[in-house]
Amino acid sequence: MTDAVGKEIVIEGVDPRELYGPKNAYLDQIRTLFPTLKIVARGSSIKVLGPEAETRLFARRLDGLVAYYIKYGYISSQVVDQCFAGGTALAEAPVDKDVIVYGNNGNIIRARTVNQQRLVQLYEHDDLLFAVGPAGSGKTYTAIALAVRALKERQVRRIILTRPAVEAGEKLGFLPGDMKEKLDPYLQPLYDALNDMIPPARLVKYMEEGTVQIAPLAYMRGRTLDNAFVILDEAQNTTLSQIKMFLTRMGRNARFIVTGDVTQVDLPRKSDSGLVRAMELLRGVDGIGIVEFDRRDIVRHPLVKQIVEAFEHAAEGTPAPEHETSNHKHKKE
């Protein structure tokens, strides 16, 4: 008879509750697949007792389940079966060419519009990308999804997200707290996107380690950003000298994406915005791609598209189309 061997496995980088399933359903399923082992789970620690060969096999299968969760962000009963019965779940996972990254709770982040897909395609061969267009078109969200994918696939060592510290009609000096506390609300959209794509505990760890950094643009001065995926958001609020400073931070094995909306300039003089001028200067340079989003890419509430359209027509001095308004009038009558 084979002597029993004890082994303790510590789960890292994943909330163990996700692996154990609701009311430990997945853990019980795993126990039935390894009837010769005694499996005791407490928090992130799993203690296994049984034949040495089975214990080693269990550890490998568990590693596969953790790897699956890290890559795709969800687990099901079928995934547990595949991982522990044959260890093939990762290889057999369905391939969807529009999927950028698998987020939290099974959330699938896809390139949903033509220009989002174009941004993903250009990323394959251009190290510097400009993504400009109206609010709600998904340009920043898509860029962050590409950054998270690059980090997960170990193409880069860190993600750096930055914005110019220009207030949209508010004064930072009147806000309470130190500089970080003043800036955090302004950077919240970047936090929101990351929270959709990286498990909360791991995101906290990444930020403590500096694997994920969120900082105002002024903090980029003097740095060389190697092995990093760097996103400059709200770039319409940079001057030409600021955007030049940012672009020249690019180091070895770095990927840069610049996003912005030239209709939402918060600088004292709109003509001071360096984004449009930078694109004019760099258009056609090998290794630099430019994607111009429009209102057809807006993926927020349907009204957002009409709001953007109305403001565009007002800026151009042309009347906005009345098809939606007249439809509502007919309904009321």
Of the candidates 287, 288, 151, 152, the one whose C-alpha atom is nearest the C-alpha of residue 227 is 151
- Tell me, what's the pLDDT at 144? 95
**Burial profile 265-275: b = 16 or more Cβ within 10 angstroms, e = fewer:** beeeeeeebbb
Mean predicted confidence (pLDDT) in 180-209: 84
Most confident of 90-104, 183-197, 295-309: 183-197
Last residue of a domain, one of 65, 92, 119: 92
Same domain? For 165 and 249 the reply is: yes
Same domain? For 111 and 166 the reply is: yes
Lowest-pLDDT range of 40-49, 53-62, 159-168, 291-300? 159-168
Most confident of 110-114, 160-164, 246-250, 266-270: 246-250
Residue type, 284: G
Mean predicted confidence (pLDDT) in 44-65: 89
Higher local confidence (pLDDT), 197 or 296? 197
Same domain? For 182 and 291 the reply is: yes
Same domain? For 306 and 293 the reply is: no
Same domain? For 115 and 261 the reply is: yes
Return the CATH number at 75: 3.30.1370.10
Same domain? For 150 and 198 the reply is: yes
Structure confidence by residue, pLDDT tens digits, 274-306: 999 999 999 999 999 999 998 888 877 778 777
- CA-CA distances (angstroms) from residue 191 to 69, 195, 272, 315? 21, 6, 28, 32
- Tell me, what's the pLDDT at 140? 93
Structure confidence by residue, pLDDT tens digits, 59-96: 888 888 887 777 776 788 888 888 877 655 554 444 45
Domain that holds residue 81: 4-92
Largest Cα–Cα distance in the chain? Answer: 88
Same domain? For 21 and 111 the reply is: no
Last residue of a domain, one of 69, 92, 115: 92
Same domain? For 24 and 118 the reply is: no
Contact between 77 and 23 (Cβ < 8 Å): no
Contact between 236 and 164 (Cβ < 8 Å): no
Strand residues in the chain grouped as ranges (E):
4-10, 38-42, 45-51, 99-102, 108-110, 128-132, 158-163, 212-216, 228-232, 255-260, 288-292
Q: State the pLDDT confidence band at 326, using cuts at 50, 70 and 90.
A: very low
- Tell me, what's the pLDDT at 181? 67
Same domain? For 291 and 258 the reply is: yes
Lowest-pLDDT range of 19-33, 73-87, 160-174, 241-255? 160-174
Last residue of a domain, one of 36, 70, 92: 92
Structure confidence by residue, pLDDT tens digits, 198-235: 888 889 999 999 999 988 888 888 999 999 999 999 99
- Tell me, what's the pLDDT at 12? 72
Same domain? For 292 and 325 the reply is: no
Task: For residue 93, give the 3-state DSSP assignment.
Answer: coil
Same domain? For 87 and 118 the reply is: no
Same domain? For 108 and 81 the reply is: no
Total structural domains in the chain? 3
Q: State the pLDDT confidence band at 161, using cuts at 50, 70 and 90.
A: very high
Task: Give the sign of the dihedral formed by CA 229, CA 235, CA 237, CA 243.
Answer: positive
**In whole angstroms, what is the distance from residue 139 CA to residue 135 CA?**
9
